Structure 1
Amino acid sequence: MNALEALLNPLTTFAEETRLTLANLTDAVGDLAVPTLRLGVTGLARSGKTVFLTALVHNLVHGGRLPVFSAAAGHRITGASLQPQPDDAVPRFDYEAHVRALVSDRIWPDSTRQVSELRLTIDFESASYFYRKLGPGRLHVDLIDYPGEWLLDLPLLTKDYAAFSAEALERARAPNRREIAAPFLEALAAIDHDAAESEPVAQALAASFKSYLAACRDDTHALSMLPPGRFLMPGDLDGSPALTFAPLDIPVDAIPTRTGTVRAMMERRYEAYKTHVVRPFFRNHFARLDRQIVLVDVLHAMNAGPHAIADLQTALGEVLGAFRPGKRSWLSSILTRRIDRILFAATKADHLHRSDHDRLEAILRRLVARAEETARFKGAEVDVIALAAVRATREATIKHRGDALPAILGTPLPGERLNGETYDGETEIAMFPGDLPQNPESLFGRADSISEETRPDFLAAQADLQFLRFRPPELDTTAEGLKLSLPHIRLDRALEFLIGDRLA
C-alpha cells in the first residue's frame, strides 16, 4: 500500500501503515532464519475456536491420523513441538490445560475470551528433490486465537457515534429484537441526552444496553450482530469509561454536541473505545495475519430459528468485510501484509451423519457467498468445509418403524434434553438428528422473508432436526497404554489448505 492508499484506507492512518510496514520488515528479517506463518483462528461465540486449536496442536505433536494432510500422509513431518511465542505481551494459549479438559476430564474447555498466541514449530522434509538436498525444513506456525466478536468492532473505525447509534437502535427495534430490547429501550426513552453529564446515568444505561446484548446471545435467540464486541467479554477493561457508553436516539447525520452533556459524554467514550480498544487490536494482531480460518456454528443458529440464521449471515458479512485479502508475495508481505488464504469451516459436523456434511457445507457457502466472492476477486484463495476438530460421536444405523436410519452414537452432556428425557452425562445414546435441507436456498428464502406470523411454519419445517451437545470422546489406548490423538472430521483437510503449501 502506498501513501495515497494508506490515507484512503478507512481502517488505518498513514502513521499506522508505516508502523505496520516496520513490523512486517522485522518479521521478514526473522523469516530469513526460520520462516513464520501467522494463522488467525476466529469465530463467533461457541463456534469451537479453543477446541480447534487444541486438536490441531495435539494431532501434529502426537502424530495423529491426517490422511489428507500431504506432509503427514507422506511421512515428511519429522517433528512438531511447542516453542516460546515471539510476542511476550500476548497471553499464551493454555494448550496443556485444554488437553487435560478434553482427554482426562472429558469436558469442553472454556471459550475464548481474549487474544492468545501459541507457536508450533514443524520440522519436515521437502517434497522437492532439490530442496531436500539443501537440508531439512522448519516452519514456525504462530497461532493467533481471538474472539470473532472483536472483528465486528472493526467497522466502527469508519463510523462516528451518531452512525453507530442509529444502526444499533435500528437493530434493537427490529421485530425479532424489540421484545428482547424492551428494558433497554425503556431506559433510553427516559434519558435527556442534552442534560448535564452524569456518571450514574451513563453506568445505568450502559448496563441496560449490555444486558440486552447478552440476552440476544442467549441460546434461545442465538443472535450474532452484537457490537461493541468487548461489552460481552470485557476482560481487564471491565468497568472502564471506554466500556461505559450506549447508543442514544439522535439523527444519523447529527454533528458532535457541546461538552458537558450526556450525549457529549457518550460520544467521547465511544471515540475512546475506538482509540484504546479497537485500533490496538487491529494494529497489533489482526493486520499482521497471513492466513485465517473462520469457524461458524451453523447448527446453533438453525436450532434458534430463522432470525438467528439471517443475523449470522449479516454478522459474517461484517466480519469478513474487515479482512485484507490478497495474493502473497515477498514484497507485499513487507509493505502491507495480506491474508492470502481464508478457510470457512462449519463446526460440529459430528452432530450430523456424514451423508449431511455436503449439505452443511452448502449452507455455509450460501452464508458467506458475497464475502467469498470479494476475497477471490482480490486474489485470496478461499475454501469452505464442514469439520469437527474433535469428533464426539460415532456413526451407526438404527431401525425405526421398519426403516433403517443413519444415526450417530454419543454421550450427551449433563442436562441435555431430547423428547422429554434429561441426560446425566454418562449414558450413551443413538439418535437420528434429521436431515438438513437439500436446497439451502429454501432455508434462506424463508429466513429472508420471515415474520412473526410465519415463524411457527418455519419452526415446524425444522422440527425434525435435533441437535444435542455431546461429551468429548474417551480416547482409545495403544497396547503400551498410550492414548491416541484426538479423533476428528476433516481437520487434515483444513491443515492441508492452511499450511500444506508451506511444507511442500
Structure 2
Amino acid sequence: MKTGLFSRFIPRQLDENLNRSLDRQVKLAVTGLSRSGKTVFITSLVHQLLHASEANVSQLPFFRIAHNGRLRGVKAMQQPDLHIPAFRYDQAIAQLCSQTPAWPTPTSGISEIRLAIRYRSDNLFFKHVAPISTLYLDIVDYPGEWLLDLPLLSWSYEQWSQHTLEACQYEPRQSLSQEWQAFIRTLALDKAPTGDSIRQASALYTAFLHRCKSPEYGLNGLQPGRFTMPGDLEGAPLLEFCPLPPLSGRYTDNSVYGVMRKRYDSYKEHVVKKFYNEHFSSFDRQVVLIDILRALNIGNAAFEDTRSAINMILNSFHYGKSGLLSWLWGFKIDRLLFAATKADHATPEQLPNMEKFLQNMLAKSQQHATFEGVETQTMALASVKCTQAAEANYQGRKIPCIKGVPMSGQQAVALFPGEVPIEMPMAEDWSKDRFQFMEFKPPRLANVHGGLPHIRLDRALEFLLGDKF
C-alpha cells in the first residue's frame, strides 16, 4: 500500500509519530528572551533553506547536504497543528527586503511553520530503496519568557512568593517594586478582598515586571512569564494574581491570600501544564538565542539576571535521546544549540571570545545537558549580517572596526565596539561605559532570491539537521 493511501487510514498523530520514529520529521523549537532575535533567526533560516538549492553553494558551505549537491529543494507546507498561529515568514521577509529595510516585527506568542526538505539520500539502504527522501521540518517559535514558568510546576505558591520577594530585596528590583509592595502591605490578607483590590495588586505587580524588563534595566528573570508576554491570554482574569508575604495564621479560600493562591494554582494547571503537555514535551531539538552583547551593555545587574534566567530555562528541558523507545514513551530533546546572536555587532576576531564567554556563562547547565546524553553546542552567529569588517588608523596603528548604519542614524559609521571578555566580569569590573555594542539597521539587499548574508547560520543548520540526511 502506498504511503499516501496508507496515511488516510491512520490517525494523523500516529502518522506524525511514525515520521518522527523513522527520522522523517524533526520538531525544532526556537526560543530566547526578548530582543534576542528569534523572528530574524527563523526568517533567515527559512529563507536560506528555501533558496539553498538555487543559491551559490558558498552561502551555506558548512551545511553539507547543500554544499555537496544532495539537496533537491525545499517547500513551505501546510503546518500540522492548525490551532497554532502560522509563523508569517512572508511578512517578515518582505520587511527585511523592502526598499527601506526594517527588522521584522517581533512575535508575541507561539507560532509554527513547516518545511518539506527533499534530498538525495546518502544512506546505503535508502539510496537504493528510495533514492529521493523527504524530511518534514516543523519550526516552532515561542517566547523564552514562557519557559520561565516551568519551574513553577514544582513550586508552591508560598515558595514562589518567597523567591520573588527575596529577589526584591536587591536593586534594581527593590526600587522598582516599591509601589506594588506598599500596596500589598495595606491588604488584610486573611480577609475577603474589597472592591478591585485583587486586580489592583495584580496590575501593580505586572507594571513592576514591565519596568524590570524595560531597556533601561533589561532584567529577564520575571515570573510569571505570561504577565509580560500574555499572548492569547491578554486581559484574562487567570493572569490576575501576585506574590504575597507569608501568612502565619489561618485563612479561607475566599480571603485575599486564598484567592491569590487559588489563581496561582489554576495558572500552573491551565497555562503552564497545558503548554508543557501540548508543545514543549514534543520538541526534538532546541535553539536558545541569547543576546549577550545587550546584557553586557546594560550592566552587572542585567547580566547576572540574564545569566540566572537562561540557566533556569535550561534546567527545565526534557532531555534524552530520540529513537524508537522515545517514540513509545515520549519524545525528548537530543540536540541543544546555545547561540550568541548579533555576532556582527562585534569585530570578526571577537567571535571566539563570544563563544567562550557563552560557554562560561552556561557551564553548569551545559554540563547537566551533556550528562543527560544531549549533544550541545555553543555558537556565535548573525542571522542577517548588517555590518562589514573595516579598519581605522589610531595613533599610527590600524585597529579592527565594523561598519554599518546605526538604528538612530542614516549614514554608515565605522567604529570599534570594544572587546568581548572571555571570563565572567567581577562586580568591580563593570566600569561605566565599558561596553558599547551598538544596534544597526538591516542591510539593503540587491538580490532577495539568494541567501541572506549571515555569520555561521550554515554551521547551525548542520548541527541541528545534518545527521538527518
TM-score tier (shorter): over 0.9
Whether the 8 Å contact between 1:433 and 1:465 is mirrored in structure 2 is yes
Whether the 8 Å contact between 2:29 and 2:141 is mirrored in structure 1 is yes
Q: 1:33-48 residue pairs with structure 2 within 5 A?
A: 35-48=24-37
1:440 maps to a residue whose letter is E
Q: Any idea what the Cα deviations from partners look like across 1:235-259, whole Å, max 9, x if unmatched?
A: 33222221001111116xx698312
Q: Any idea what the Cα deviations from partners look like across 1:184-204, whole Å, max 9, x if unmatched?
A: 222222222112124510111
Cα distance between partner residues in 2 of 1:483 and 1:502: 26
Whether the 8 Å contact between 2:345 and 2:438 is mirrored in structure 1 is yes
What SS does the corresponding residue of 2:265 show, helix, strand or coil? Answer: helix
Whether the 8 Å contact between 1:256 and 1:267 is mirrored in structure 2 is no
Distance 1:345 1:232, change over 3 A: same
Cα distance between partner residues in 2 of 1:359 and 1:307: 21
Q: What displacement does 1:24 show? A: 7.1
Whether the 8 Å contact between 1:476 and 1:484 is mirrored in structure 2 is no
Report what 1:195 is aligned to: 191
Matched, 1:28 2:20: no
Equivalent in 444, 448, 452 of residue 474 of structure 1: 444
Report what 1:17 is aligned to: none
Equivalent in 339, 344, 352 of residue 338 of structure 2: 344
Matched, 1:429 2:399: no
Q: State the percentage of identical aligned residues.
A: 38
Q: Any idea what the Cα deviations from partners look like across 1:103-135, whole Å, max 9, x if unmatched?
A: 114111122211100001100012334432222
Distance 1:484 1:29, change over 3 A: closer
Cα distance between partner residues in 2 of 1:382 and 1:177: 33
Q: What displacement does 1:162 show? A: 0.8
Unmatched 5+ residue regions in structure 1? 1-21, 415-422
Equivalent in 103, 128, 131 of residue 133 of structure 1: 128
Equivalent in 410, 423, 426 of residue 440 of structure 1: 423
Distance 1:202 1:101, change over 3 A: same
**Mean CA deviation greater in 237-246 or 490-499:** 237-246
What SS does the corresponding residue of 1:398 show, helix, strand or coil? Answer: strand
Report what 1:417 is aligned to: none
Cα distance between partner residues in 2 of 1:383 and 1:37: 18
Matched, 1:357 2:351: yes
Equivalent in 455, 466, 469 of residue 500 of structure 1: 466
Cα distance between partner residues in 2 of 1:255 and 1:270: 20
Equivalent in 259, 264, 275 of residue 270 of structure 1: 264
Cα distance between partner residues in 2 of 1:237 and 1:256: 32
Cα distance between partner residues in 2 of 1:394 and 1:30: 42
What SS does the corresponding residue of 2:226 show, helix, strand or coil? Answer: helix
1:427 maps to a residue whose letter is Q
Q: What displacement does 1:434 show? A: 1.1
Equivalent in 383, 392, 398 of residue 386 of structure 2: 392
Report what 1:228 is aligned to: 224
Q: Any idea what the Cα deviations from partners look like across 1:176-223, whole Å, max 9, x if unmatched?
A: 321121222222222221121245101111111111111111111111
Matched, 1:52 2:41: yes
Q: What displacement does 1:170 show? A: 0.9
Report what 1:322 is aligned to: 316
Whether the 8 Å contact between 2:23 and 2:468 is mirrored in structure 1 is no
What SS does the corresponding residue of 2:198 show, helix, strand or coil? Answer: helix
1:121 maps to a residue whose letter is A
Q: Any idea what the Cα deviations from partners look like across 1:44-86, whole Å, max 9, x if unmatched?
A: 1111111100000001111251101111111111100100000
Cα distance between partner residues in 2 of 1:363 and 1:229: 26
Q: Any idea what the Cα deviations from partners look like across 1:116-171, whole Å, max 9, x if unmatched?
A: 00001100012334432222111000001000000000110111111111111111
Whether the 8 Å contact between 2:30 and 2:142 is mirrored in structure 1 is yes
Cα distance between partner residues in 1 of 2:49 and 2:255: 57
Cα distance between partner residues in 1 of 2:23 and 2:146: 31
- Give the TM-score normalised by structure 2: 0.92
Whether the 8 Å contact between 1:475 and 1:485 is mirrored in structure 2 is no
Report what 2:208 is aligned to: 212
Report what 2:450 is aligned to: 484
Q: Any idea what the Cα deviations from partners look like across 1:244-303, whole Å, max 9, x if unmatched?
A: 01111116xx69831221111101111111111111110111000000010001011101
Distance 1:338 1:300, change over 3 A: same
1:80 maps to a residue whose letter is V
Whether the 8 Å contact between 2:252 and 2:258 is mirrored in structure 1 is yes
Cα distance between partner residues in 1 of 2:360 and 2:71: 36
**Mean CA deviation greater in 348-357 or 168-177:** 168-177
Equivalent in 161, 166, 170 of residue 166 of structure 2: 170
Matched, 1:113 2:91: no
Distance 1:459 1:112, change over 3 A: farther
Whether the 8 Å contact between 1:83 and 1:121 is mirrored in structure 2 is yes
Whether the 8 Å contact between 2:319 and 2:332 is mirrored in structure 1 is yes
Cα distance between partner residues in 2 of 1:465 and 1:301: 10
Q: What displacement does 1:34 show? A: 8.0
Whether the 8 Å contact between 1:24 and 1:337 is mirrored in structure 2 is no
Whether the 8 Å contact between 2:190 and 2:250 is mirrored in structure 1 is no
Aligned residue pairs total 452
Report what 1:6 is aligned to: none
Report what 2:144 is aligned to: 148
2:167 maps to a residue whose letter is R
Unmatched 5+ residue regions in structure 2? 1-10
What SS does the corresponding residue of 1:123 show, helix, strand or coil? Answer: strand
Whether the 8 Å contact between 1:398 and 1:407 is mirrored in structure 2 is yes
Cα distance between partner residues in 2 of 1:434 and 1:236: 41
Q: What displacement does 1:308 show? A: 1.2
Q: What displacement does 1:35 show? A: 1.3
Alpha-carbon RMSD: 1.9
2:443 maps to a residue whose letter is P
Cα distance between partner residues in 2 of 1:432 and 1:363: 19
**Mean CA deviation greater in 199-208 or 142-151:** 199-208
Distance 1:376 1:255, change over 3 A: farther
Distance 1:255 1:93, change over 3 A: farther
Q: 1:175-190 residue pairs with structure 2 within 5 A?
A: 175-190=171-186
Q: What displacement does 1:483 show? A: 4.3
Cα distance between partner residues in 2 of 1:85 and 1:227: 31
Cα distance between partner residues in 2 of 1:79 and 1:468: 37
